[in-house]
Amino acid sequence: MDLVRLRSFLVLMEELHFGRAAALLGIAQPHLSRRIQELERSMGVELFRRSQRHVEPTAAGRSFAERVTAVLAALDNAALEAREVAAGISGRLRIGFIHSSTYGVLPATLKQFRAMRPDIAIELREMTILAQIDALRSGDIDLGILRPIGGEDDLAYETVLHEPFRLAVPQDHPLARRRSLRLSDTMRERFIMFPREASPLFHARITAAFDAVGVIPNVVQEATQIHTVLGLVGAGLGIALVPNSSRQLDWPAIRLLEIDQAPEPVEICIGWRRDQSPPAREAFVDAARNAAGSLGRQSDRIRA
């Protein structure tokens, strides 16, 4: 059913005068008469009773007007919502995140983003890096908060935080009293390590740093999550290299030490599909960059 005819019908219902209604619509009166006749013909009912002096709606016309008013209002609202979603003002955003982002980046980002875009519903999913990459590719999530591992040419990333590694040791460990410390000084220590399969980025960076100084670490335990690694350090099972955001956990029995020859810093990035960037991406990235400003060095670089 033609929307132009429906809107013309409602104007005539309001004015009950073909001349005034036609003037409001910006068309000639005969043109309006044809529109109404075509609408009545398509429906098979008479919507108006006409005389030389006035126009009066039929019972069918009054009933139809109520429904048309509601339908057109719903269509107008739907069009407005679509424009707002396209502009990144409203809608829904499905976001994957790694656990370590909850130490600072994620809570601060969400607080800022909700203030910037209060009409966007956020759906959060805690996921590993590999699971986020798969979910971005399949369209199951719109954005990911993750650490890129390389080789994802179909995904784009914007770095919001660079994190250096720190050496986590028990509070009473001899290394905790050192004024300066190099990675090569840890060659006789027992290490808690991130496993290759579950934490490929951490494992690769830490292994490369040990290789560079000619040390083979004595790995006595592996753990996937940063808080688990710190718990094992606090229990005296060994020492560990962890990203700097670990300090947000504030473990009283652990010291986080700066160390020379440390692994290459890791990044927290916002990731998305190159061919399917959500409209609210820029606003979310801005919120993440602002949030990360208090946590570490930011980067304006979009990784290719």
Q: Find out if CATH 3.40.50.620 is the number for domain 3-86.
A: no
pLDDT of residue 79: 79
For 71-85, how does the pLDDT look when each residue is reduced to its tens digit (9 = 90+)? 988 888 877 777 766
Q: At what angle do helices 29-43 and 18-25 cross, to 10 degrees?
A: 100
pLDDT of residue 293: 79
What's the confidence (pLDDT) of residue 251? 84
The class that CATH gives domain 91-162+266-303 is alpha beta
What residue ranges of the chain are covered by domains with CATH 3.40.190.10? 91-162+266-303, 165-257
Domain with CATH 1.10.10.10 in the chain: 3-86
Overall CATH class of domain 165-257: alpha beta
Q: Give the per-residue pLDDT at 89.
A: 64
CA distance 224 to 130: 13
- Which pLDDT does position 303 carry in this prediction? 37
* Positions in the chain short of pLDDT 50: 297-304
Tokens representing 126? 């805690």
Q: Are 267 and 243 in contact (CB under 8 A)?
A: no
